[in-house]
Amino acid sequence: MPPVSRIIAFLIGLPLLGACADGESQVGFRQKMDRWVGMPAEAVALNFGRPVWEGRSPDGRRTVQYDLSWTESGGGYSLPVMDSKIVRRTYRNENGNRRSYFDFVPVRSERYVAPYSRQRRCLTTFYFTDAGRVATYAHVGDGCVAPEQS
């Protein structure tokens, strides 16, 4: 693979690493939502509450949409950071002459992580069969994530 295509592949993969860092992904969300296929509409309503939109799809199927958006927040704490610095030390040798040398000294400091809050959007639409059971679903948004099942 030429160097340019490796860099592009790396840059494309970076957002995927961030999404998986906390163990949640869209794959996990789909695994969670796949369990709803075949369930009655009443079970969906009991679990998700009142939909933000109800209607019919172009082929006449009943459709409901839920806003599963949430707010991601964190920060407001300090992390210990270990580093080292180079210091010059002096001593006297056996002849009484001053000599110097450089030494590494461990240094501990704190790095403050500022508080943050970010809105994560997730709109999920369920499509029902004529019998009132979930036929399929669709979702859109960066907040449609859940822990992956093994």
- 5: in domain: no
* Dihedral of alpha carbons 130, 134, 135, 140, sign: positive
pLDDT at residue 57 in the model: 87
Residue (of 84, 85, 88) closest to 99 by Cα position:
88
Tokens standing for residue 48:
């998700």
pLDDT at residue 149 in the model: 87
pLDDT at residue 10 in the model: 42
What pTM does this model have? 0.64
CA–CA dist 44, 50 (Å, integer): 10
The CA-CA-CA angle for residues 4, 7, 11, to 5°, reads 140
Residues 33 and 57 occupy one common structural domain:
yes
Residues 83 and 141 occupy one common structural domain:
no
pLDDT at residue 23 in the model: 80
Residues 88 and 106 occupy one common structural domain:
yes
Containing structural domain, residue 109:
77-113
pLDDT at residue 18 in the model: 43
Average pLDDT for consecutive 10-residue bins of the chain (150 residues)?
Answer: 42 43 85 96 96 92 96 94 93 92 93 95 96 96 92
Residues 108 and 127 occupy one common structural domain:
no
pLDDT at residue 32 in the model: 95
Residues 58 and 130 occupy one common structural domain:
yes
CA–CA dist 51, 64 (Å, integer): 6
Residues 56 and 126 occupy one common structural domain:
yes
Contacts of 38 (CB under 8 A, 6+ apart): 133, 134
Contacts 24+ apart (CB under 8 A), 99-103: none
Our count of domains for the chain comes to 2
> What number of residues does the chain have?
150
pLDDT at residue 9 in the model: 41
C-alpha gyration radius of the chain: 28
- 98 three-state secondary structure: strand
How many alpha carbons lie under 13 Å from residue 23 in its C-beta half-sphere?
Answer: 3
